[in-house]
Amino acid sequence: MFKAVSTEVRFPDLEQRVLQFWKANRVYQRTLEQRSGGPSFVFYEGPPTANGMPHPGHCLTRAIKDLFPRYRTMRGYHCLRKAGWDTHGLPVEVEVCKELGIHGKDEIESYGVEPFIQRCQQSVWRYMQQWEQLTERLGFWIDLNEAYVTYHQSYVESVWWSLKNLFDRGLLYRGYKIVWWWAQGGTALSSGEVGQGYRQVADPSVYVRFNLVDQPNTSLIVWTTTPWTLPSNQFAAVHPDLTYAVCDDGSGKKLIVAEALVATLAEKAKLTLQVEKTIQGIEMIGWRYQPPFDYYSSKLGSAQGTLKSGGKEHLYWRVVAADFVTTDSGTGLVHLAPAFGEVDFDVLIKQQERFVSGEEPKLICAVGPDGKFTADVPSLQGVWVKDADKTVTRSLREAELLYHQEQYLHDYPFCWRADQDPLIQYPRESWFIKTTAFRDAMLANNKQIGWLPDHIRDGRFGNFLESNVDWALSRERYWGTPLPIWVCEKTGQMEALGSYEELLKKPGVEGTDVWLKAKAANPELVDDLKVHKPYIDAITYSSPYAAGSRMRRVSEVIDCWYDSGAMPFAQWGYPHQGKEQFAKQFPADFISEAIDQTRGWFYSQLAISTMLFGEQDTSANAQAKSDVPAQAYPHPFRNCIVLGLMLAEWYESKDGKRRFLTEDEARKECGTQYVSKTGKMSKQLRNYRSPQEIFDNHGADALRWYFFANQAPWNSIIYSERAIRDSIPEFLLRLWNVLSFFTIYGEIDGFRGPGDIEGKLDQLNADELQRSPRYRPVAERDELDRWVLSELSLASEEVVRCMDAYDNYGACQRLIALVDGLSNWYIRRSRERFWAEDVNGVDKVDAYWTAYECLVTITKLIAPFVPFTAEAIWQELIRPAAGRVRESVHLCDYPTAIAEYQDRDLAVQMATLREIASLGRSARMDSKLKVRQPLSRVEVVLAEHTHLAWLQNHAAMLREELNVKSIEYPERADDYVQYTVVPNFRRLGPRVGPLLPKVKAALGAASGAALLTQLQETGQVRLQLDATEVVLDREDIEVRLQAKPGWAAAQGKQCVVVLNTELTPELIREGLAKDLNRVIGDMRKKQQCKFTDRIRLVMVGDFAELEQMLAEQQASIMQAALITEIVRTAPASVALEKVELGNYEVEIGIQVVSD
């Protein structure tokens, strides 16, 4: 038996019960077991880092990551969902430093690397519980117990294996790199970190004279905002195509700047610059100049080297060509200090390549890694670079080399965690992966990936790949995967190792005792630490390259993005173990993260996979790859949904001092003095609610549905509590109300549903339901039943099509329309059938079965989207057959189309009928005739008569819906309606092209009614346009209607509905009866009558007109409201209420009669 389900549902409570149910019955595990023989759907979890609190953005990614695996599982696929955690990296170290109150590498070293990394390892799990709780509460089904963890030994060794592979193929090399350097902390920062720290500052900007060696009294003017780099100057750059001007400044000194900037520079220095002649940049190349400081030039000023092309050239302080020189700012001449600028450094590399080996210019660098000047510059030794700006400027002025000085406002990066520390660009030795060798391969791979939205492929991601630079892999830090390269201390020869075991097998291994001692001293230490610093650093072995020499590991760890990008194989420990799993679970069918991962996880995965498993190998040492299977593109993921970023919505007092999360609070506190804001979510601003609060107040399904159904997932989405709350009534609650309606009457009527089906039941598909003795063939049922089942099938088909294309938004739109049709048309139109007296009436039972089948199917359809609500509804629906069907909706197969149910004509017909009903109500509204007042007649004028016969057959439904006595469909209604004939543009456009405006004009000019007659009689319309005759058939034109003024009419696209507004006394009395019925219904409800209670109606007052109404309508009133008798005098026991019926006032009361 069904049990009446209350409309008052609290989703958060319901969800808690569902969670318990899932746990108690191992539902998730069983969904996997059940599909173990099915085809694989491979999903990869992009590992979050658990050392920060999860926030609403993570809910979005986790919801999407849950949706498609659930869907595919119901479609029969076996979808493993291995969780993962990203555990290495600077953020972890920073957290630990904060905790310890220390700052910078020196302090870490003095604290001790060993205890430091032990703390890092523990810190990684700090918010683990919150993460697991959020994951579970959101309904994200994933195997947390078997999560991969990037610091685990097996994971690290997988990464090592891949690095050894790259190293052996010559793809891992050591080089210099200009990095953003945090001098106080002694570390380079990743571009992401640098990006966080930009802010606007005013820096001194100086225009400096570089005196030319071979042209007395003439100088180049260069500009810089970093005066402290001038002592390290090596070159001056010009653009070869720019025109430069030699000017006289009035004092006899000559200076050279870009011609375009002469006026600007004259104004700056308040000088008159007389242009003497102009010269092309290309002609200046090779000119030598005197650098502003002679710390290096005193020794190297005349140094020369041999060119590869023959001949000799001075190594330093000459003019070179560079394409990046512009006249947007500065002077068109650029000071180059290769040590402190990436582009400057590239110029040096190019210069070095021109000279024979050993004679090239070297890097000049007057600053140490601590950001202070070295002994190379005695007058500034030990001075912090930014503090040197003033001194440098003063010296320039004294040497009469300063042309002009001013403040310059620009954005400059500071350390994101020590915001007083400016970053400097600085050369560091670094390990690189030669990703540039795989640029084309990565592009080819990328081409095959199914990106959503697809502009990512050629847009953001494609562009990023196009401009690929070698991956700077190493980090001079502590907590990360150690770079597995050992160097011979004598010869510098290097070897990469692919596992810990391989290391232990090396000859003459020493240093393993460091770990053993640590472990002995503290048995709690996790074994995974032995492959980390400092234990791994302690292990050395005999060099095969020089007798007596040791092999020692380089000190660096690697970029943690490499860790995450290696997860397709490292999650299984491949290839040291897990070969089978890897073979089955590669590549992924589906991944999803937010757009910020474009250069993060999306790239690191693609790059590593392309290099290791790519189709073609462009590297020098390809055979080293032979143990790895090559894979056809795309890999390692086939489809990727790139999510938009999540924004916060909050309210602020107008002075910006107070923030509120809801508008109500803001209004309460500030009256009207508040503004609404949207922007980035910020921990500091506390401008968003914790996900937990949303779960507690509105439920996880509300949040999920809001994410899935409100916009395409790649749009940015506002995390708005109001919007989340609003998503409940429009879908979840509406569906719940249908369930409630169904179960209330199902219980009253004793409808047994699947309970009366004999034999084996499984998942209540149509073929099972039809075994019920009372389930009649759909074709024999009422048209409304066939309509809603057709909608059900069409929707199933469409939802499957959308979901197969990863279009959750489209799927949700279709589901909303389906539930709306069920609730607001099917159930509403069928209520009388459910209320029918005869419990076993065929029509009534049909209605039950139809509604039941819809509910069962919809529950399955929505299960991946709102798993909690779906489960709760399922449990109610299976109640009569509990124990005989699948225990959970999530164990069912996903519904697909049932071809026999589909009737596209009927769908169009019903839509037309619904439109007519809507227009009828609209016309009533205009004439102020409420729906309860019956009318004698409406006329419906159709533009197009295809469905006329059908509509005529359904007059009854419309009569009821519109509360009218008769409906007529006049063929022509020239009295009410004006016909306009317009061409069918889509059809005629290609055929008549430029003539189309004339066709339109000709059709417009002719009488619409006449054209229509012509069309009806001959089947075509002939138009004479200038020289050509155009023949139009029925399909070529479209008839539009317009209601003529003066009628109670409403007009839609397809038809006009005209009301007869004449009211007879009889109609008015009928209206009164309907009013009375409503009043009684209200009273029943107010007095909390049971649905089945019979009542006595007491009605006192001056009747007159009402008397006749009662006489006519008594039977129907009594039946509708379960009235046993109508009493005209009031017994004392009944409370009376004054009510208005039409223009009459009466007193009415009701009293429940016992049986």
Q: Which of 30, 362, 886, 1040 binds RNA (CB under 7 A)?
A: 1040
Q: 312 pairs with which residues across the strands?
A: 306
Alpha-carbon span 345 to 349, nearest angstrom: 6
Q: Which of 20, 122, 129, 191 binds RNA (CB under 7 A)?
A: 191
Residues 1070-1099 that bind RNA (CB under 7 A): 1074, 1077-1078, 1081-1082, 1084-1085, 1088-1091, 1093, 1095
CA distance to 945, 1008, 1010, 1034, per residue, from 988 (Å): 22, 19, 21, 12
> How far, in whole angstroms, is CA 376 from its chain's centroid?
53
198 counts as binding RNA under rule CB under 7 A = yes
930 counts as binding RNA under rule CB under 7 A = yes
- Judged by beta carbon, residue 723 or residue 836, the one nearer RNA is 723
DSSP 893: P
- Judged by beta carbon, residue 967 or residue 992, the one nearer RNA is 992
Site string for RNA, 299-328 (x = CB under 7 A): -------------------------xxx-x
177 counts as binding RNA under rule CB under 7 A = no
Q: Which of 449, 891, 1121, 1146 binds RNA (CB under 7 A)?
A: 1121
DSSP 1135: -
Give yes or no for a contact between 207 and 404, defined as CB atoms under 8 angstroms apart: yes
Alpha-carbon span 156 to 534, nearest angstrom: 15
DSSP 642: E
- Residues that contact RNA, how many (by CB under 7 A): 111
Give yes or no for a contact between 706 and 718, defined as CB atoms under 8 angstroms apart: no
Q: Which of 431, 515, 561, 1047 is catalytic?
A: 561
Q: Which of 584, 683, 1053, 1138 is catalytic?
A: 683
- Judged by beta carbon, residue 845 or residue 898, the one nearer RNA is 845
Alpha-carbon span 320 to 335, nearest angstrom: 10
Token pair listed for 810: 């489209």
Query: H-helix or E-strand containing 228?
Result: none
- Asked about 1024 being catalytic, the answer comes back as no
390 counts as binding RNA under rule CB under 7 A = no
39 counts as binding RNA under rule CB under 7 A = no
918 counts as binding RNA under rule CB under 7 A = yes
Q: Which of 194, 255, 612, 889 binds RNA (CB under 7 A)?
A: 194
Q: Which of 51, 187, 710, 796 binds RNA (CB under 7 A)?
A: 710
6 counts as binding RNA under rule CB under 7 A = yes
DSSP 603: H
Give yes or no for a contact between 762 and 768, defined as CB atoms under 8 angstroms apart: yes
Q: Which of 3, 23, 680, 930 is catalytic?
A: 680
- Asked about 683 being catalytic, the answer comes back as yes
Q: 355 pairs with which residues across the strands?
A: 307
Site string for RNA, 969-1008 (x = CB under 7 A): -------------xx-xx--xx--xx-xx--x--------
Phi-psi region of 1127 (alpha: psi -120 to 50; beta: other; left: phi over 0): beta
Q: 941 pairs with which residues across the strands?
A: 1056
Alpha-carbon span 816 to 832, nearest angstrom: 25
- Judged by beta carbon, residue 172 or residue 819, the one nearer RNA is 819
Shortest CB 353 distance to RNA, Å: 20
- Asked about 517 being catalytic, the answer comes back as no
The count of other CB atoms within 10 Å of the CB of residue 63 is 24
- Judged by beta carbon, residue 527 or residue 838, the one nearer RNA is 838
334 counts as binding RNA under rule CB under 7 A = yes
- Judged by beta carbon, residue 272 or residue 326, the one nearer RNA is 326
- Asked about 106 being catalytic, the answer comes back as no
Q: Which of 601, 705, 736, 849 is catalytic?
A: 601
Cβ-count burial 366-399 (b if 16+ within 10 Å, e if not): bbbeebbbeebbeebeebbbbebbeebbebbeee
CA gyration radius, the chain: 40
Residues 342-381 that bind RNA (CB under 7 A): 342-344
Q: Which of 7, 29, 122, 1114 binds RNA (CB under 7 A)?
A: 7
Give yes or no for a contact between 376 and 296, defined as CB atoms under 8 angstroms apart: yes
Shortest CB 1037 distance to RNA, Å: 12
CA distance to 597, 605, 628, 638, per residue, from 446 (Å): 15, 11, 21, 9
DSSP 357: T
Shortest CB 838 distance to RNA, Å: 17
Shortest CB 227 distance to RNA, Å: 9
Residues 467-506 that bind RNA (CB under 7 A): none
- Judged by beta carbon, residue 421 or residue 495, the one nearer RNA is 421
- Asked about 13 being catalytic, the answer comes back as no
Q: Which of 335, 833, 879, 1069 binds RNA (CB under 7 A)?
A: 335
Alpha-carbon span 832 to 1094, nearest angstrom: 18
Site string for RNA, 631-660 (x = CB under 7 A): --------------x---------------
The count of other CB atoms within 10 Å of the CB of residue 780 is 10
Shortest CB 467 distance to RNA, Å: 7
Shortest CB 513 distance to RNA, Å: 43
678 counts as binding RNA under rule CB under 7 A = yes
1024 counts as binding RNA under rule CB under 7 A = no
Single out the residue of 651, 680, 648 nearest to residue 664, CA to CA.
Answer: 651
Residues 804-863 that bind RNA (CB under 7 A): 813, 820, 823-824, 827-828, 831
Give yes or no for a contact between 812 and 709, defined as CB atoms under 8 angstroms apart: yes
Residues 216-245 that bind RNA (CB under 7 A): 223-226, 229
The count of other CB atoms within 10 Å of the CB of residue 490 is 13
Alpha-carbon span 274 to 265, nearest angstrom: 12
Q: Which of 47, 413, 568, 691 is catalytic?
A: 47
Shortest CB 544 distance to RNA, Å: 39
- Asked about 86 being catalytic, the answer comes back as yes
Residues composing the chain? 1155
- Asked about 47 being catalytic, the answer comes back as yes
CA distance to 404, 687, 715, 716, per residue, from 682 (Å): 43, 6, 19, 16
1023 counts as binding RNA under rule CB under 7 A = no
403 counts as binding RNA under rule CB under 7 A = no
Shortest CB 15 distance to RNA, Å: 18
Q: Please name the residues in contact with 690: beta carbons below 8 A apart, sequence gap of 6 or more.
A: 55
408 counts as binding RNA under rule CB under 7 A = yes
Q: Which of 118, 425, 597, 933 is catalytic?
A: 597
Shortest CB 327 distance to RNA, Å: 7
Shortest CB 965 distance to RNA, Å: 17
Give yes or no for a contact between 857 and 796, defined as CB atoms under 8 angstroms apart: yes
Q: Which of 22, 82, 86, 484 is catalytic?
A: 86
Single out the residue of 179, 203, 200, 180 nearest to residue 389, CA to CA.
Answer: 203
- Judged by beta carbon, residue 6 or residue 36, the one nearer RNA is 6
Residues 720-749 that bind RNA (CB under 7 A): 722-723, 726, 729-730, 733-734, 737-738, 740-741, 744
Token pair listed for 446: 């990328």
Residues 434-473 that bind RNA (CB under 7 A): 455, 459-460, 463-464
Shortest CB 168 distance to RNA, Å: 29
192 counts as binding RNA under rule CB under 7 A = yes
Alpha-carbon span 387 to 389, nearest angstrom: 6
Q: Please name the residues in contact with 1013: beta carbons below 8 A apart, sequence gap of 6 or more.
A: none
Give yes or no for a contact between 295 and 376, defined as CB atoms under 8 angstroms apart: yes
Residues 566-605 that bind RNA (CB under 7 A): 595-596, 598-599
Amino acid at 480: G
Single out the residue of 423, 230, 426 nearest to residue 339, CA to CA.
Answer: 426
- Judged by beta carbon, residue 60 or residue 595, the one nearer RNA is 595
Which sequence positions are flagged as catalytic?
A: 47, 86, 561, 597, 601, 680, 683
